Structures are given as C-alpha cells and as structure tokens.
Structure 1
Amino acid sequence: MKNYRKIIPLALVVLMALACYSLVSNAVKENSDYNHYLSEARKYAELDITKYAIENYNKALTINPTPDVYVEVAEYYERQENSDTEFLNWCEDFFEKYPANSKSYDCILKAYMKQKDYDACFDVLSTAEKRNVSSDYIKSVKNELSYSFKLDFNTYDDVGIFGNGFCAVKSKDVWGYIDSYGNQKTPITYVSTAPFTKAEMAPVVDQKGKCYFIDNTGSRVLASKEKYKSFGISSDGIIKVELENGKYSYCDSELNKLFGEYDDATAFNNGIAAVKEDGQWKIINNKGDEKLSTKYADIITDEKNIIFRNDRLFVGDGTGYIMIDSSGKQIGNEKYENAHCFADSTYAAVENNGKWFFIDKDAKRLSDKTYEEARSYSNGLAAVKISGKWGFVDTDENVVIEQQFFGAKDFSEKGSCFIQTGDKWQLLKLYRLNREE
C-alpha cells in the first residue's frame, strides 16, 4: 500500500509532463503550419495565383485568425483587377468578425469607396461613431464625403422651398408635396400651394378654385365657409387671407377674421408683419396696430412671404434697402441695392455695385468675397453663382459643392436642396444628412 502511495504522485507528474509536452509540441506544430501556410499564401499572391493564395491564407487564419492577416488579404484583393466583389465580401466578413477593430472599418470603407457606395460608407461611419472607433482613414473618408451628394431621379417644372420637412413641386400645371427624401407625400393636383410650417399644414387651391389647408398626406384639415381666394401660411397662429375683392385680411388659426383689409400683406413671424396701404408699407404687430411710425416704399420678403427673421428686416425707400431691427433702428450705415431675408441666425445675402456678399445681423461682412448672385445661408450652406453657374459655400466661404447648376434653392435640415439642371429641377441629397431611418 505504501508503494502505491509513492507511485501515484509520480504517475501524475509524468502525465502532466506528457500533457505539457503534447501541448508544446502541438503549439510548435501549429506555429510551423501557420508560418508555412502564410509563406505559401504570400508566394502565390506575389505570382497573382489567387486560388492557391486564398486557400493558404484561409488555412493560416484557421490556425491563428488575426486582423493583420485579414488586412493583408484585403490589400491583395484590392490590387487585383475584376475582384471588387471578392474584395467587398472579404471586407464584410472581416468587419463582422472584428466589430471593434479600426482596421476592419478601414477595409470595409475602402471596399465601399471603391464601389462608390456612399450610403454604405455612411452606415459604417455611423457605426464607428457609436462604437467610438476611430482611425486616420475613417477621418479622411468622413471629410472627403462631407458634401458628396446624389440627385433624385424625379424632375419637376418648378419647386417651392422646404418648410417643416416638405416642399411643393410642380409637374406640368399642377402642384403637390414631397418630403426631404424625395418621396411624394400628397397628390400633385393643386393649382397653387404654399410652404408647410410648424402648424403642420399648408394652404392650397384646388382645380375647382377652392382654398383650404391640408396635412402632409393631402387630407383637408382646415377650411372656411367664407369665400376666400387664397390663404397664406399659418404662422404665429395667424393666417393671411385673400378676399374676393382682392384685398387682404388676417384670421386666427380657425379662420375667424381678426383685423384688416389691405392692398397687400405678408405673413407674420415673431409677431411682426407688413401691410400695404395707399402705396406705402407699414410694419404691424399681431393685434393689427402699427409697430413703427415710419412708412416704406418697399420691403423684402422671402419665399414663405415672411419679412422678419433673426430680429432683422430689410426695408426700402425706392432707391435701395436698409436693414432695421424690430424697433425700426437702422443696423449699419450701408444701403443695399437688393437683399434677401435671413433664413436662419447666420448670414443674409445682400447686393451692392452689382455684386452679392454676406452680412451678419450687425451688418458686418462675412468676408471680402463677392458673387454674381447669392442666397442667404440655410443650415450651414449658401447657394452662390460664379461664372454663370450655381454651387454652394460653407460658412467659411469655402466652395464645398462646385458651380454646376442653373439654379439653386436652400438646404433643409435633412440635407436636401433643389437645384436646376437645364430647365428642370431635381432634388440634391447630401449622403451625410439625407438618410432615411
């Protein structure tokens, strides 16, 4: 019995030694096999013998799956002609296996960039941002594609301006609405339309001459028994209405008349509008009372029929325009030949000496640059005309979309903007922003 007690520990030691030897031996063999397969793969790859190169790379990866080898194979496929599909499939597999490794993001981005699949690129960039993965190549792709765009295949004879995510479009002689992604949201059957607002409805006139408000599906949501020729936008809970006699009044959000009967009128914004009587414009508040004592020969309105935004408006005396605040105080000393209202809180486009440039709300010029024509900044970009064509500049006035269009509108929050190609309008969509959920 005593002898067995001595033999058992000795046997265990021997077994452990054999096991360790076996593990070490197997590891040595696996390492040898791994190096052999990798060496063979590289030899065949150098000769462009793809079949055997990939077979040996896969054998090596079965033994030791490392990101560096995945990258090596991806780079091999990238160099080969007519192997875009294999390159993409390999990178997608790499990306799936290593979702937290920046090298897999670099590879899949290179594959998508090679195929110019920018939608897929931005899916990858979005995933990288969510997972806090970064690399120099990820940053370079993001910068390169910041202002890349695609054009929607639909074309229109005329277009309005985006409001609350929707824009009026004209096909032949009738109008309807699309969303920021180019999807048709209402029938294109109306004689006239105006922009949507935060009230989530827009005024239209149908082919029978009836005017009413619709929601973004085309359903009628507000109408009146009174006979009106047309409605303006709903803003600040006040709606401009055109009467049968050609005059203009204001109604509340249920189309009950509030005040006024003017020769012309604008929409309200932030409690301010302008009305015309006896050939002169005056500024009023939302009670219909004169806000300023001064009358003006002309005013500047935007495509929503609004005059007042960013606490500024442009008024004219017949010889030019000045910028004033809500108290009537002139901002800056300059008189402009023409101007566009502020579209947001950044910069407005104004004209002097036949050239357009940008100013902020204090009348300070953005730079010394001038343009043949320009529109005010909207969502970080402004349309400008250079050498007879329109393009876009950022707020540093860097050209980010080259001059190539015959006309241009303003960008929506979703990165949509109508541009004119020939005599038709198309929706330009920035890949970076215009992405449906």
Structure 2
Amino acid sequence: MELKSNIKLLLLVISISFVALACPVNSSAETLTAQQEALNTNSDLDKSKTSLVQEASSIPQKEIDTTLAQVKIDGKWGFIDNTGKFIIPATFDEVRYFQDGLIAVKSQGKWGYYDKFGQVIVPVQFKEVTDYKEGFVAVKNDNNKWGFYDKKGAIIVPIQFEEVAGFKDGVALVKDNKKWGFYDNKGNLSIPVQFTEASFFSEGLAPVKSDNKWGFIDRSGKTVIPCQYQEVMTFSEGLAPVKVNDKWGYIDKSGRLVIAAQFKSIAHGFSEGLSAVNLEGKWKYIDKNGTALFAAPFDSLFPFKDGLAEVRVIKKSVGFFDVVAFAVGASANFYDIDTSVIKSNEKRGYIDRTGKLIVPTKYDLVNTYDEDLAIVKVDDKWGCVDKKGTFVIPAQYEEMSQFQDGIAKVKIDGKWGFINKTGKLLSIYQFDEVSPFSNGLAAVNREGKWGFLSKEGKITISPQFDEVHSFNNDLAVVKKDDLWCVINMDGKVVIRSWRGVSKISDFSTSLAAVKVDGKWGYMDTNGKLVIQPTFSDAGLFFVR
C-alpha cells in the first residue's frame, strides 16, 4: 500500500478508535484511554523500554483480581484492579506492556519486572532489560554485565557476561572474555565458553567458529563437523551452505560435501527443495542435487513458501515520493530474513517453482500474499491477484486496505465502499471516511456525520454523530452536539454523559474510563461511577 494511503488509513483508525477519546481542540498524552490491548500503553510510554518499581503486594495472589488497568497519578504510572485498588503502585516513570502476566517498569532510571499480582519478579535495579523469550529475560547491570532471570524471579544465568542472546529453542548464548558458550534452560552451562563466534541450533546442529574457521557442534557440545570452513550458514532441509576457497557449496550432517563448492554466493539455504545461488555472476535456483533448474535474473531472492518465492529488482531511479510497503518475513540462515519493509527503490514480484514470473516486478507496488491474495498497484490503481497471478479483483481503486475478516475498504472517485474477496461490492461508494468492521459494524462518515454499516451493506445506524468509536463489547462511544454518550448495536442511547464529562473510552471488561472535570475515573455499563476520577490518565481494563 502506498505511503499516502497508509498514513490516511492510520489517521482514520486513530481518529475513530483513539482520537474520539480526546477533546477536538485539546489533544494530549491522555490518549492512553484508547489504547489497544496489544499495545497496552499510551503516548507517554516508550514502547521499546521496560521499567520496575517498589515492594511486592502482600495480598495473597488468589485474592487479587488480575483484571488490571494502567493509570497515572502525580506523574507516575501504576496499575489498579476493577475496585480501584493499586496492585502495582504508581511509582514508575515508564512501563511497557504486559507479557505473559509480567510487566517491565522503570523507576529512577532503573528497570525491572512485576507480575500481575503485584509481586517483584526482577528487582528494579538494571540498566536494561529485554522482553521475555521462552520464559526468560536478559538483564544488564551497572557493570555492563548480562544474565537471565526466569518468570519466577530466579537468576537462571549468572549476571556476569559481556553479551548474551536468546533464549531460542531452550538455549542461550553467552560471551565471556571474547568467547562464546551455551546455557540450557535449566541454568546449566551446557557447552563451555570457548568459541570466537557461535549461532543457535538448527536441525540439531549449531555453527561455531574456532581458530578463524567454522564448523558444527551438537547439543552436547561435541564437534560433529570440524571447524574448517571460511563461512557457513545453518542447516535447512538437511543441508548447510559452506564456503571453501572462496566458493560456496553444501554439506550434509555428516560433513560430506554433497554439492561442490562452486558458487560465488548463496542467497539462502534450501526451502521446499530449492536454494538460490550465484553462479558466474548470475542467480539461479538449484535442487538438492546441485542441478540448476532455472535462471533468476533479479537483485534479491527469497526462500520458497507455499510454492512461490518473492523476488525483487532495484529501480534505476527513485522519486521523492516512492512508497514503503509492509510484508511478512521469511526465515533462513542464522537469522530471520526481514521482508517487513521493501526499500523505496525496489519492486517486488513472485515466481513459481519453474521460475515463471507469476506476479511481475513491473507493477508499481506488490504487497505480500495474505490468505492467497496479494494487493498490487498498477498505473496508480489498486487490485488483487491470486497465486496464479490472475487479477481476481481488477486494479481500479484509488485506495484499498488489506482484507480483514474477508472484507476490504476500497475507494473510487473519492468515495469509500466495501468489497469481499471475490470483488463483490458490499456497499455502494458513498462514504467520505470509513473504519474497519468491529462487532459486525463499520463506522462510516457521510457529509461530515458518522453512522454504522453492516457487513451486508445496510446502514443500521444513520449518520448523525460528530465523532464515534468502533463497537466494542456491543457498545460504542459517540459524540453529538458536543455531548458524549454510549449507544448499543441498535443505535439506542444507553448512557448519557453528565456535566463535566469531556471524554469516554471504550468499554473493556464492563468498565470504561471517563474524564470528569479534568480527571479520569471509571464507570460501568449503567453509567455509574465505580472508581472516582482521580487520575491524570487512564487505560482500559484487561485480564493480564
């Protein structure tokens, strides 16, 4: 999707789902009230960081409601339950989002972790903490040493290493005195620190480097393939690329060279029986016998997935307004190949297992396949192709969204409508703005007023509101004539705002944040204030 479209769609979602929480003339950090569960944070929070806090709650875990909301008071963040009681005290400068019942918090420049019961899991004393992976979190102390905690608060890997990585497949890499070793998830140094470089296991073997040469070890640390190669990649489908005398070939798990070292470079290991190699300056795909099956005259080649491989070409010139598209990554070699962003000077296409170009690289833009369809842009118009490259939805739209639950938003002649995956028009092009469907209804704007549309294309609630939220738990927050209220799926007003109410959030677990006279509290589905307005900012309740 082109950048302009992405920005418009993003702004639309924000305006419908988030900004409706804020006064039209007073946008502020208080938009936390419209946070999504996936983010569970607000504009004041740094999503890339974690934080820690004080003492653990002394209340037994079984007596604590783990439905929590993030609130801010006196400039500090904490978490309350649905009675308004603080489970995690409001003493933190920053917090991240909950992850498997754990939250990273920051106080006075130090990070740590709490659990959803208010217990300290990782003391708030570290310069850095990562996200939890496979039940473990890496921490860095004031001496710039790294180690790992588990989810119960036990140190599983001593905090004494220069660098760490993982956990992945039950293993963490640790570096001490410029040498790498392996810890298992029981806290054992399973493979002593001895390698100048190392990578994670793949198909039971891990690449390691010693005396400036690469080889492979098994999980016991036994050298299975001696360190004798200039470079290696991880095993995939039983074979690993290795470099010998400046040429690449492939070995099996016994170390036997099964495809002679003859290639200038290799794009990736085998996937679906094929690998992309550079032979005499030209890219080709080979099979596991080393036979070249077809030429691949592209600048970038990616692994096959479901019978198709993504390919890219570099454009000769780049315009200032070249777009950025988002995609789904593919995994190979030591790392995950990140295809989430296509560069502005690249064009994407797809080939099949015979090398036939299914989706040409000549199109203005090609998104990755999602549910067997790829959205493409041709001559500034958007449409969809299937995995045979056939246009199942003609390129005729000025703008087009990704499909969500089988429905996409499309724009023609400046007006929005909705189509399904066959291209069938579900509603005529009549709306100035639209939102995605939620609870079976989509917010639509016509002539400056918002209403709601069903998936059958019927306007169920006539456009009459100045601002709306999407439906959530069968309720939607709407604004009309400068007054906020809550309606049900039939459009009936079930909660009317009262004097002093300037904002209302979506309902979550039967409670909604409401701003009264500049402070946030919470009301129930009857409109009754159950937590008095005392907070400078407040988020939605979620079961952590």
Measured against the shorter chain, the TM-score band is 0.3 to 0.5
Normalising to structure 2: TM-score of the pair? 0.34
Normalising to structure 1: TM-score of the pair? 0.41
Q: Which has the higher helix share?
A: 1
Q: Which has the higher strand share?
A: 2
